[in-house]
Amino acid sequence: MLRLTKKLLFGIEAVLDVAYNAKSRPVQASAITKRQGIPKRYLEQVLQALVRAGVLTGQRGPKGGYRLAREPESITIAEIVNIVRTIEVAPDPLTGAPASALGHRIVRPIWMDLQAELLERLGKTTLAELVERAREAGVESET
């Protein structure tokens, strides 16, 4: 089940921060933490998962940090969501023990349909679109 969690929001915000504030140098995790208010314990875990999945690239060293691994037009929000969901630890109630007949045949299918619709919409929303929205909203950027 798709749940809106802190980790999920932080993952989307972190990738958007990298896309929005990318310069000639990689974006450092400490800068993301400062700008977005994301606790470091969440951020590092999320960033590493995004690197392993090929959304970000990481560069070590004092001038290291993170960059997008691909063009922002090719990264969807659904992709980020699916990557972050793999590191979530809470069990999915939709895949648990069978519910009552009403729960199993009526309530769960509604949530499954809503989840599919949401993921479809997020799959059509690219990182480039969010960057453009941030520019239109007047959000300050490092670039």
Q: What is the pTM of this model?
A: 0.87
Range of 122's domain? 6-136
* Domain contains 143: no
Task: Check which CATH number belongs to the domain holding 123 and give it.
Answer: 1.10.10.10
What is the C-alpha R_g of the chain?
17
Burial class (CB in 10 A: 0-12, 13-18, 19+), 36: middle
The yes-or-no verdict on residue 88 having pLDDT over 70 is yes
* Domain contains 55: yes
* Domain contains 141: no
* Domain contains 142: no
Percent over 70 (pLDDT), the chain: 91
* Domain contains 102: yes
Structural domain total, the chain: 1
The yes-or-no verdict on residue 55 having pLDDT over 90 is yes
Q: What is the pLDDT of residues 7-24, one digit of tens each?
A: 999 999 999 999 999 878
